Amino acid sequence: MHLQFSKFFKAFAVILVASFGHSQNNATIVKINPAETNQTISKHIYGHFAEHLGRSVYGGLYVGDDSAIPNTDGVRNDIIEALKELNIPNLRWPGGCFADIYHWKDGIGPKEDRKNIENVSWGNVREDNGFGTHEFLNLCETLGAEPYLAVNMNSGSVQEAVEWERYVNNPNGSSDLTDLRKENGRETPWDVKYWGIGNESWDCGGDMTAEYYSNLYKRYATAISSYDNTEKLYRIAVGPGEPDYEWTETVMKNIPANRIEGLSVHHYSVFDWVDKGHSIEFTDEEYFKTMQRAWFMDEFINKNAEVMDKYDPEKKVGLIVDEWGGWYNVLPGTNKSFLHQQNTMRDAMIAGLTLNIFNNHADRVHMANLAQTVNVLQAIILTDDEKMLLTPTYHVMNMYKVHQDAELLSTEIENNPSFGDAPAISLSASTDKSGKTHVSLVNIDGDKSYEITVNVDKMKPISASILESKKVQDHNTFDNPDKIKPKEFKDFKYKKGKITLEIPAFSVVVFELN
């Protein structure tokens, strides 16, 4: 049976909840503890990922400088504006699996001279390398985002990685790579800090064992570091993409503390890798299973962090969740290698829940990258020729940006109803530099609203916003791009340090307090 969460159905569910299970006596109670946690939620948790995959880069964010679509150096202006609005803190590129077949020198110099390549990772399509190192790093500069480069560890070489680092970072003209960069139009270095060494090296990145990978990693990590840059680089090693904590153990044990700053892990909310289900026409059971997989992120972080704590008790090495999100079957009629899917309220639930999990693990999770930015997997932006739309996931990211670089507050929930193994209600809270506190609440339950009391002590609500829709399958289309967008939320009461609200099924609510 397909879920049809109509307003009628929801109203019925609310009555049931109020009369049978969720009356005044057992309302969910949220406590915000204003005491300092001394933990900052890194803005980098709100990072993104753009791979050379399907219509992510070519035919997505990059249309070329001769396109009729308004652009800046080939990148769509509407996308630049949308990403700036999010305060996008970092962007990972060029992959993913693609990173391990990419040779950066193919993508520099005059565009007409650049080598065409076959993207053997994703659909064997031909790419003209019009979007290369300069285009990517200049885009990051325009966005005010930190670039995060993934080096080719599989079909590339240590030398190629060293030269890339020198090309983009060398300030003093001591090498011919600096001369080359200047010839190609860039005088000053970009100072790229974040370097991923390999990607999924246990699979598409070379099918390596953890021992082999960590030894090879050390060659890259030492070679790209030199007397003048070691302090400046943040080197990220490959961690697991499934509950293989042995991999984490081996990598953390074998790589000395002075050679690693981050460990990357990947987790997608997929309930069945053989048949991932439709991105719009999913059943209530599929919705439920997706939420269970999204909630697994909490356990995945805890178990990896437990291993990391053994080798890095001071939590200096960041857990970098550089691929996360929902992954479904491609939309019918689209190329199966292009991973193009729609984005519904289900995806908004994955985003709200996952970002709460990351915020609450701010001590260990230092960066995360949603997969992916445009037209691929849980995209925040979809395009169709000149048209462009923002997805429900985009709106969650926008509502949550208030947590970027804010101080995490500790929170407690009493009487939290469950949704399978997952708690129905999740939240995180933080205080920003101006002293305002933000509380993000999510109810992932597919059909029940819940009464919540939020104890805010001496703080008072200033405003609140909500993302909700009638059906969990609802999504934005090019004909109706604003069907789902945040609205002001007024449906709450405040009295003597307590906010009470009825949080609708599958909705996200963010409060601002001072």
In one-letter notation, the amino acid at residue 245 is Y
CB nearer ligand AHR, residue 53 or residue 402 = 53
Q: Least Å distance between CB 425 and ligand AHR?
A: 29
| CB-CB contact of 59 with 417 (8 Å) | no
CB nearer ligand AHR, residue 48 or residue 76 = 48
HSE-CB of 254 using CA atoms within 13 angstroms = 22
Q: Least Å distance between CB 485 and ligand AHR?
A: 26
C-alpha torsion 26→27→31→32, nearest 10: 170
Between residue 287 and residue 326, which ones bind ligand AHR under the rule CB under 6 A?
Answer: 323
Counted residue by residue, the chain has a size of 514
Between residue 363 and residue 382, which ones bind ligand AHR under the rule CB under 6 A?
Answer: 371-372, 377
Site string for ligand AHR, 67-106 (x = CB under 6 A): ----------------------------xxx---------
Give catalytic status of residue 211 as yes or no.
Answer: no
Tell which residue, 402, 409, 448, has the closest CA to residue 425: 448
Q: Least Å distance between CB 49 and ligand AHR?
A: 7
Between residue 236 and residue 275, which ones bind ligand AHR under the rule CB under 6 A?
Answer: none
Tell me the backbone φ, ψ of residue 163, rounded to 5 degrees.
-65, -35
Among 42, 90, 138, 199, the residue binding ligand AHR under the rule CB under 6 A is 199
3-state class (DSSP) for residue 362: coil
CB nearer ligand AHR, residue 377 or residue 466 = 377
Q: Least Å distance between CB 96 and ligand AHR?
A: 3
Task: Quote the CA–CA distance of 52 and 58 in Å, as a whole number.
Answer: 7
Q: Of 146, 165, 323, 407, which residue is the catalytic one? A: 323
Among 51, 407, 445, 468, the residue binding ligand AHR under the rule CB under 6 A is 51
Q: Of 200, 261, 407, 468, which residue is the catalytic one? A: 200
Kindly determine how many residues on this chain lie close enough to bind ligand AHR according to the rule CB under 6 A.
10
Nearest 5°: CA angle at 478, between 10 and 124? 110
156 contributes a contact to ligand AHR by CB under 6 A: no
Give catalytic status of residue 200 as yes or no.
Answer: yes
Output the six-digit token pair for 4. 């049809």
Q: Least Å distance between CB 40 and ligand AHR?
A: 28
Q: Least Å distance between CB 73 and ligand AHR?
A: 25
CB nearer ligand AHR, residue 51 or residue 127 = 51
Contacts of 121 (CB under 8 A, 6+ apart): 52, 53, 95, 96, 97, 98, 100, 101, 204
Tell which residue, 450, 339, 366, has the closest CA to residue 24: 450
Contacts of 228 (CB under 8 A, 6+ apart): none
Task: Indicate the helix (H) or strand (E) that contains 33.
Answer: strand 28-40
Catalytic positions are: 200, 323
Q: Which residues bind ligand AHR (CB under 6 A)?
A: 51, 95-97, 199-200, 323, 371-372, 377
